[in-house]
Amino acid sequence: MIDRLVILGATGDLNARFLLPALAALHAAGHVGDRFELVCADRRDWTGEEFRRWASDQLDRHAAAESGETRKAIADRARYRRTDATDAADIASLVAGDGPVAVYLALPPAIFPGVVAALGAANLPPGSRIVLEKPFGEDLDSAVELNRLLVGVVPEQAVFRVDHFLAMTTVQNVLGSRLANRVLEPLWNSAHISEVEIIWDETLALEGRAGYYDGVGALKDMVQNHLLQVLCLVAMEPPLSLGERDLRDRKIDVLRSVRPLTDDDVVRRTRRARYLAGRAGDRDVPAYAEEEGVDPRRRTETFAEVELELESWRWSGTTFRLRTGKALGHDRKEVAVRFRPVPHLPLGLGEEAEPNVLRFGLEPESMTLALAGIGTDARTLAPLTLTARPAPSELPAYGRLLLDVLLGNAALSIRGDEAEEAWRVLAPVMSAWSGDLAPLGEYPAGSDGPASVRSS
């Protein structure tokens, strides 16, 4: 297990909200021992004491569930260095020491190539690992180039392209439920399933993230990585094991089976929009184009929907709908598996039975199965809903990811060829949208999204 972690971009939102709280959770669970070293680096001209005060404030805010002793232990352990992450000499001084180091790039993806080049010039100790946040590149060409740079520094097995969705217990439950239950796996195919919706709708708007979001948009921020990863777990063939080779090979098979979209497909099977001024919950939300830090000329979408089909024996004839939106009226974060209707009902048993729907709630965690049963009248059908709420995970998603990095378990990280395949899937959409083949719609903040979108 590696006991040295270097975080580049350590004064940013990612470290404040997720990495430091994850380290606190690991400490509380006994996974981070006395030998563990935490080096935090950024461009801000702070002293070590100033950084530790900042880290303590962030832990109090975002890791309040952990004990004060645990939060203090993590804040006190952090050493801070003012660093240019693209400067090889600065990086070399950070990683110098005995034994391997894990270097976490909590940085804007646009500077990843320069940072990786600096890491290569710094001669990382043998056995070191590099951790990158999504998106991995900005398009297919840049992803290929980034992968080329990475494998020139460390072996592919030492590259952790992390997507915290894969570490969410709720997401893993999609795979576990279908593979561990005989009642589900025989029905898990296009003969029984008409449509799968993978939805991440949120009431949150930009929340101060315009500097990042306006250059990315909903398609790249959510669909290209998070939602495609969930699609892989829903649609993959049963792996021989959950080891890194077997699991990631089966995910690659799914991405390769996605039928390429033509320009006509993009017009018919994708939607994009951005929010207008409105009221979401108890907040007044300005129009996206008027948010601070937004350049309206970029025509960045805050809502994206893509319908995909898989060319495989199991899934031919099933529609997969991936959707995400900001500043909507309701949070809806789930996988909804819609089964086909029964082929026949006995005469006298109502006119029609609603198709069964199995819902995996991603946030909050839940599982719901909508069935049809007999109502108060013996000859009528009524909805029957079965609901379960799994026990919460012992570690937060980022805690699981960091533990896997330190232990060297790459099963839940994204392999280089997988990152490239994900870009290939959406390259036709990105090209068509940049040429305005699909109109940029609008929807009021606090609404259900563009009028053509089904909200059930």
Which residue numbers are catalytic? 226
Query: In 374-448, which ranges are continuous DSSP H helix?
Result: 397-407, 416-434
Place of tokens 């059908």: 381
CA 24 → CA 10, 38, 217, 337, 368, distances in Å?
A: 15, 12, 31, 36, 32
* Residue 162 phi, psi (nearest 5): -95, 140
Cα(421)–Cα(254) distance, integer angstroms: 10
Rounded to 10°, the helix 112-121/140-151 angle is 10
Q: Enumerate the β-bridge partners of residue 381.
A: 374
Contact (CB, 8 A) for 155 and 187: no
Regarding beta strands 303-309 and 319-325, do their DSSP bridges make them parallel or antiparallel, or are they unpaired? antiparallel
Contact (CB, 8 A) for 379 and 353: no
Cα(353)–Cα(350) distance, integer angstroms: 8
DSSP 8-state code for residue 392: P
